[in-house]
């Protein structure tokens, strides 16, 4: 899935690669998406 996130005067576009099985540290979260 691709998501557009409005942030101040810009828009961040991210592709969700996976959903983690649990809530974890930021490093694990970053492995689950990529910025486009």
The pLDDT value recorded for residue 32 is: 96
Map 1-35 to HEC letters: CEEEEEECCEEEEEEECCCCCCCCCHHHHHCCEEE
The pLDDT value recorded for residue 33 is: 97
pTM for this prediction: 0.71
The pLDDT value recorded for residue 12 is: 96
The pLDDT value recorded for residue 16 is: 97
pLDDT digit string, tens, across residues 1-36? 999 999 999 999 999 999 999 999 999 999 999 999
The pLDDT value recorded for residue 29 is: 93
| Domain range summary for the chain, segments of one domain joined by + | 2-35
The pLDDT value recorded for residue 25 is: 95
């Amino acid at each position: 899935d691709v998501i557009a996130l409005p942030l101040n005067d810009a828009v961040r576009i991210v592709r969700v690669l996976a959903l983690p099985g649990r809530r974890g540290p930021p490093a694990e979260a970053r492995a689950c998406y990529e910025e486009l």
